[in-house]
Amino acid sequence: MNDLDTKISEHYMRLAIRLAARALGNTSPNPLVGAVIVKDGQIAGRGYHCRAGSPHAEINALKEAGNKAMGADLYLNLEPCIHYGRTPPCVDALLESRIKRVFVGMSDPNPLVNGKGIQKLREGGVDVKTGILEEECRKLNEIFVKYVTTQRPFVILKAATSLDGRIAAEGGDSKWITNEKSRQYVHQLRNQVDAVLVGIGTIERDDPMLTTRLQKRRGRDSVRIVVDSTLKISPRAKVLNLASNAPTLIATTPKASLKKIRAIENQGGKVIVIPSRKSVDLTLLMEILGKKDITSILIEGGSRINTSAFKAGIVDKVIFFYAPRIIGGKNAPLIVGGNGISKVKDSLVLHRIKTRRFGDDIMVEGYT
C-alpha cells in the first residue's frame, strides 16, 4: 500500500477499534471486535460485538450496510471466525455478501481460527490485507490473547500508594491515599475484568465490598475472590452479604475445616479448596479459575498478596497510583514486601511504560 492507502486503512481501523472498545467488560470470554464497511469512500455499515452469544461485529455491520456491502471494503480489528460457536462462522457471511476487500488488524490466536479465516476469504476471491495497526489491536485484546493461548486469566496488579511506597499508615489506615478521580478509574477497571482478587488480610482490615460503583451509570460487579489459606473469613464479611449478581469465591487449602466450609457456603459463598500444603498455590488457582472461564483478574490486595503474586509469576500488568503524600514509618506496609532481592540487576523490570494524571495523582502502567 502507498502512503495514502496506509493512512486511509489506519483511519478506518481506528474507527473499528473504538467501536470494539464500547463493549469493554461485556464480551468475556470472547474478544472485543469492531467492524467498519466502506463503499466509495463512505461508511456503509458499522458494528461491534456487544456480548458473548450476541451477533459478531461483522454480522452487525453487514446488516446495517445491506446491499452496499457488495464490492465494499471491510475493516476489522480481529480476523473473522471460521468455526461454529454460539453463532455461525462470520467468514461464510462475508463471502455471501461479496465483500471485495478485508483489512484485518491481527490474526486470531484462537487455535480454532489462527489464520484459517483469512485463508478461506482469500480462497473465496476476497483481497485480504493484514497487520493494520496490529500493536493497537493486540493491546485492545490483550486479555483475550493471554486467555485463549494459555487458558489462564490475564492478571493486573493495582496498588494505590504514597510517593514513598506506603499503601497504608503504620496503624493500617489507608483511606484514602489517592483521590476520587483515581478511585473512580479503579471502578472502571473492575467493570472491565471478570474478577477482583484480594487476600484475607484485606478483608479483615478493610472489610471491602469489592463491587463496581460508577458515577452516572450502573456498573457490572465482577466475581470476588478471596485468598484465605485457613478460611478465617467471617460469615459477616461484606463480600458474603451483598445484593450482587456476581458470586464470591473463597480460595483455601485442605487446612480449612469442613464445618467452616459449610458455614461459608450456607452464607452464599463458594469455597475452592486448592491442594496446597501451606498457603494457596496461586499458579494452581489461576489454572482452576481459567477452567471457570475467568479470563481476567484485578488484584487489589495488600503487601502479602502482592508479594505472593509477583513471586508466583502470575502478574501480567501493573497499575500503580502515586499520590502526592509522604507517609513514612518503618512498619508501614509497602506495595511489595518479602525478603526482596540481593542485587538490583535481579529486579523485575517493567516494559511498555505509560503514565497518566488523575488530578494530583500519577498512574504508572507497565507490563512484566
Task: Show which residues are catalytic.
Answer: 58
Q: b/e per residue, 222-260, with b = 16+ CB within 10 A?
A: bbbbbbbbebebeeebbbbebebebebbbbbbeebeeeb
The most distant pair of C-alpha atoms in the chain lies apart, rounded to whole Å, by: 70
Got the DSSP string for 272-327?
Answer: EE---SSS--HHHHHHHHHHTT--EEEE---HHHHHHHHHHT---EEEEEEES---
Query: Would you say the C-alpha torsion 250, 254, 255, 259 has a positive or negative sign?
Result: positive
Look up residue 165 and give its amino acid: G
Phi/psi at 248 (nearest 5 deg)? -110, 120
Query: Would you say the C-alpha torsion 172, 178, 184, 189 has a positive or negative sign?
Result: negative
Cβ neighbours around 133 below 10 Å, total: 22
Report the Cα–Cα distance between both ends of the chain, in Å, rounded.
Answer: 35
Distance CA 41, CA 11 (A): 12
Distance CA 211, CA 241 (A): 12
Rg (CA), the chain: 23
Residue with cell 496446597: 276
Helices (H) and strands (E) in the chain, counts: 11, 14
Look up residue 28 and give its three cell numbers: 468475556
Look up residue 65 and give its amino acid: A
In 3D space, the residue among 315, 295, 18 whose CA is nearest the CA of residue 137 turns out to be 18
CA angle, 44 then 49 then 51, to 5° = 150
